[in-house]
Chain A
Amino acid sequence: MNEKELAPHIEDINRALKGKVNSEQIEEELQKFRSEYRISLGDAKRAIVKKFGGDPLELYLNPEKKINEIRGDERSLDIKARILSLQDKEIEIEGKPKTIFYGILGDDTGTVPFTLWEAKSLDLEKGDTVHLKNAYANTWNDQPQVNVGSMAGICILDDHEVPPFEREPQQCMVKDIREGMRNLVVTGRILSLEKKSFQTDDGEKDLFSGVLGDESGKIQFSAWHDFRLETQQVIRVTGGYVRSWRGIPQLNFDDSAEVETLDDSEIPSSDVLKDSSNMTISQLARRGGAVDAIVDAVVIDIKTGSGLIFRCPECNRVVQKGACRIHGKVDGEADLRVKGILDDGTGALTMIMTRELTEEVLGYDLDRAKELARDRMDQDIIKDELEELMIAQPMRIRGNVTSDEYGLMLVATEVKFKRIDVEAEARRLLDEVSV
């Protein structure tokens, strides 16, 4: 760790020791513990406080922090912030269902995701200003996040106690858009557009939603105001904010935003954009999902439940041994699909291929698959054949990527086997490195 990274920790120790020891000495000790003895940061801090006669517990009593000061390793954290978004979620802990809440907190310095693990006695709403005591922080995808556990206290504050978050609008490429961002400036081409009408308390309202693209990728958007948008238009949205749906970030803008129409040449044509959203799986994981992403990877596993399957006519669930988990013995309807693991060396995800794509890869249709399985009296032969065709083959897969607690999932819309001239590629690489 360099000096800059150590500074906040030296400050922690200093505070716990109430300034009895000078910072240089603390730094020297910390370096010794870290570099010479390779002691973890937490243990080193405790040991140093103890060594100089302090109480290590003091380390954990952090003073109030601003959101941009949160490092992600605080075991105790005091913050005053506004709840910018709040959603609930059912999870299962030791077999029991439990509701937790998650969302985004903001103050005048920034925003941070948070999770409320114990929310029974609370009636919190989006927009509430709160004081969190004894929360803790960790990191997810290198971003700090705040956790409010059973040891924490929450009280509601007056709105004016936390100044509003006002940042200069920030310019952002589509691929860099993340959940919780606000006051964004995004430039892109409208690739598709759809108008939906729905009823509100104030009468009928229109929602304009679609897909916006730039050189770096594509994103779904929702315009909550009629900006007279048109397909193929190049627009610059100032004042957008981001919400996620199943991990896919979506750009939202309402009448407080500004939308300008730009010259068509500002953004490549939709034909070019079609193939622009090539991403590594690691990038997709950090982002949480993407619309119409392209992944170059290999299939390294094809899961049970692939190939020829039978679905319950009632609920569409896959029938096992002639019985549906819910509806018991049913006359299952045949279907074809692939549930596989795609891995590109940077990350892995679950890929789903529907019947049409599975038929394309197999080179024959569902009826033929049924025939083959019947002839051999083995339903698994279709899965075996898919393994034969797909595993360890370089592929280019296109589809929407979503994420949930089970990880990333790509529902394929296009599956191509890549033809690679290994010899030429190897020569190119050899020339490049000249070894």
Chain B
Amino acid sequence: MSMMRREVAWRIFADELNNSSLETSGDDERSPSYIISPLGAKVNRVYAVGVLTEVDNRGTPEEPLWHGRVSDPTGTFFISAGRYQPEAATALSNIEPPKFVTVVGKTSTYRPDDDTMLISIRAELVKEVTEEQRDYWILEAARGLKTRLEAMAEASKMEEVSVRELTALGYDPTLAEGIKKAAEHYQTHGLERYWSMMGDALRYVLPEYEQADTFDRPAEAADEGLTDRVLDVIRELEEETDEDGVSYETVRDAVITREGISMSEFDEIISRLRRHGKLLEPALGQIKSAY
């Protein structure tokens, strides 16, 4: 007997989601497509709680298309709601940032080129919530992250990652599939970054945590010079254009040519600049210096 299964809503931090570069489609056109995160979350739907920082209408007054940015302790979710998400669209248009909100929606991807995948959430539900609810979400997201990190660590011990072995270790079959795909696609080293991200996110809910930027880790401080130079490149390119921001690829090509860094190093710098609020994303695939 075949059964329609509603896609689970993943509790996933923005950083992990936005760092995904793998998408799988099912066997036939009716089966849904999934984003495979670097830690094996097989995401079609997301449940996020964070701070709505910006809302704007990128459609027309008659046919609005609302875009919003929702921040969690690790980064930003890009959300949208238009005519096919009437309830979420109405909700988005009525909330004045900054507010704590919950967002449930399906992921949607945009590929400006073969190497870049930008991810946004088409919101099915947007609702104002309390800070306590946000904190609870962080806890849930951290738990999920921990499970995936542990599963990835198990997978890295295997010569060939096996769904069956992962399931035997007690991991959910869906996660086990995602872990296998992630292990094949992404570099499996560098998980420490996510462990410390989890620690930072959890400390965020503790009362002693003040707005200090816990994301400035020593490793990051070392490339401070490089980060500043990337920002300089963006500002230079901005002066050459009349548009609102510069396309992601233009910046990337310029930076990679000039600094001789790798694609993933570049991505790392860009997401760090975003986290620090030094970069804005006026439209999906466009970046712009904040000042």
Contact = CB atoms under 8 A, between A and B. Distances in A.
A222 B135 CA distance: 46
Contacts of A115: 1
Contacts of A89: 1
B150 to A, nearest CB: 9
Interface residues of B, number: 47
Interface of A is mostly: mixed
Contacts of B160: 1-2
B49 A392 contact: yes
Contacts of B222: none
A349 B6 contact: yes
A371 interface: no
Contacts, number: 118
A301 B91 CA distance: 14
Contacts of A102: 1
B146 to A, nearest CB: 6
Contact of B9 (A140, A345, A394, A429): A345
A336 to B, nearest CB: 21
A426 B139 contact: yes
Interface in B139-177: 139-140, 142-144, 146, 159-160, 162, 167, 172-174
Interface in A1-18: 1-2, 5
Interface stretch (B32-40, B121-129, B243-251, B252-260): B121-129
A131 B144 CA distance: 47
Contact of B144 (A345, A420, A426): A345
A348 B202 contact: no
A430 B202 contact: yes
Nearest to A1: B160
Nearest to B100: A392
Interface stretch (B108-116, B191-199, B226-234, B264-272): B191-199
B205 interface: yes
A393 B173 CA distance: 27
A367 interface: no
B102 interface: yes
A393 B134 CA distance: 10
Given A300-B104, A422-B132, A433 B1 contact: no
Nearest to A348: B6
Contact of B142 (A391, A408, A423, A429): A429
A279 to B, nearest CB: 12
Contact of A392 (B1, B127, B159, B206): B127
Interface stretch (A64-72, A230-238, A306-314, A398-406): A398-406
Given A140-B2, A393-B133, A425 B139 contact: yes
A300 B143 contact: no
A422 B159 CA distance: 38
A34 B120 CA distance: 32
Nearest to B172: A282
Contact of B174 (A282, A298, A394): A282
B66 interface: no
Interface of B: 1-11, 47, 49, 102, 104, 124-125, 127, 129, 132-133, 135-140, 142-144, 146, 159-160, 162, 167, 172-174, 195-196, 198-199, 202-203, 205-207
10 contacts: A282-B172, A343-B8, A345-B140, A348-B7, A392-B137, A406-B3, A423-B207, A426-B142, A426-B205, A429-B143
Interface of A: 1-2, 5, 89, 102, 113, 115, 140-142, 280-282, 285-286, 298, 300-301, 341, 343, 345-350, 387, 391-394, 403-408, 420, 422-423, 425-427, 429-430, 433, 435
5 closest pairs, A vs B, by CB? Answer: A435-B199, A348-B6, A392-B102, A426-B202, A422-B135
